[in-house]
Structure 1
Amino acid sequence: MDYFIIIVTTAAGLYFHWWIYWRIRRWMDRDLALSLAGDDPQKRIYLLQRLADAKREKVKRRDLPDWLQRAADDYRAA
């Protein structure tokens, strides 16, 4: 019974850490997109859509800031 408790609590702890890690990563990506948008509500919507596109296209995390910056520049040009 002791081993069962140890295994269950360890698994729950590992799952929680995995879950919070991915949650924080999503928050950071969203915060990056919103910071590039500034105070313009339409630009915020546009960049959040572009962030979703980046995830769908599987843009690497290290390339995401440059990718979003280009998207923000494209918005200014449009």
Structure 2
Amino acid sequence: MDYFIIVVTTAAGLYFHWWLFRRIRQWSDRDLALSFAEGDERKRQYMLEQLGHAQREGVKRRDLPAWLEQAAGHCPINNA
């Protein structure tokens, strides 16, 4: 019974750490995309759409900042 408890506790701990790691990565990617929105609500929505587009395309994490910066530069929404 002791081994069962150890295995279950270890598996639960590993799953929780994996889940937390994934969640933090999602939050940081979202914050990165929103940093290019510069406080504009329409541009914020546009950048979140671009983040989803980048994830569907399979853009690697190391390339994501440059990809999002390029998408922000091509944003059809002007602040004026």
TM-score range, shorter-chain basis? over 0.9
More helix by share: 1
Question: After TM superposition, what 4+ stretches of structure 1 lie above 6 angstroms from structure 2?
Answer: none
Amino acid at match of 2:70: R
Distance 1:40 1:76 in 2: 13
Amino acid at match of 1:24: I
Equivalent position of 1:42 in the other structure: 42
Equivalent residues of 2:43, 2:77 under 8 A apart: no
Q: What pairs up with 1:1-78 in 2 under 5 angstroms?
A: 1-75=1-75
Q: How many residues are treated as equivalent by the alignment?
A: 78
Amino acid at match of 1:58: G
Q: Please report the TM-score for the alignment, with normalisation by the length of structure 1.
A: 0.96
Q: CA deviation at 1:77?
A: 7.9
Percent identity, aligned pairs only? 64
